[in-house]
Amino acid sequence: MTHTLLKSVSLATLIIAGFSSYSIAKEEGDLLMRGRAIYVVPDESATTSIGGNVGINNDIVPELDFTYFLTDNIGVELILATTKHHVTALNTALGASASLGSVMLLPPTLTFQYHFNPKGELSPYVGAGINYTFYYSEKAPGGAITDINYNDGFGFVLQAGVDYQINEEWSFNVDVKRVWLNTDVKINGGAVTADVDINPWVFGVGFGYSF
């Protein structure tokens, strides 16, 4: 009887220890690093000096982010990724659609997050923040369009996601962001101008490692 009781106590201790290892999944002072694959889907619109609209293609790229926990529930996340997009002028006064070349976007993003159930196996979160988008490697399509320039600028971000704790260090993550991005575009030194809202949805999936 005593032997059986000791075995039961030992088993209960192991189970409690196992749950305790998950209890430090997210806590004040932790640094969580994630690698995600993200699918960037622009929700574009534009006002141009030649009428019409613009079309911007989707892109799939890797993303790296770092979350530092100020408290068990509150984290600050820095998100790093870069995307490449091809831009097309649609239904302008000039008639048929025309390529406007391509551009690379580097939008460092900082969000403040609230993590629900930070000690649990399943921990959803919401966040809001800002980004500053750098537009670089602009390539004009040639022909009548020999030069194109995008203005850098600030944007606003909303975010929601969930972490599933695999073990003490590793977690699986699903994340979605809505980013409000606007840029002024000059073509051929300003002969044609456009006020473009890119406003992408960003869908991400990946893994995190806690330090």
pLDDT given for residue 99 in this prediction: 82
The residues with which 46 forms a beta bridge, in sequence order, are 196
Tens digits of residue pLDDT in 60-111: 999 999 999 999 999 999 999 999 999 988 877 766 677 888 999 999 999 9
2-210 is classed CATH 2.40.160.20 = yes
Domain locations in the chain as residue ranges: 2-210
Q: What is the mean pLDDT of residues 122-144?
A: 93
How far is 74 from 28, CA to CA, in rounded Å? 8
- Joined together, the tokens standing for residue 100 give 């406007």
Strand order in the sheet with 148-150: 45-48, 192-197, 182-187, 148-150
The DSSP letter of residue 44 is -
Sign of dihedral through CA atoms 125, 127, 132, 135?
positive
Element (H, E) at 132: strand 122-139
How far is 113 from 65, CA to CA, in rounded Å? 13
Query: Would you say residue 8 has pLDDT above 50?
Result: no
State the chain's mean pLDDT as an integer: 87
Longest Cα–Cα distance in the chain: 92
pTM (2 decimals)?
Answer: 0.83
Tens digits of residue pLDDT in 142-191: 888 889 999 999 999 999 999 999 998 999 999 999 999 999 999 888 88
Which residue spans within the chain are E strands per DSSP?
31-41, 45-48, 53-56, 59-69, 74-80, 83-90, 98-106, 109-115, 122-139, 148-150, 153-165, 170-180, 182-187, 192-197, 201-210
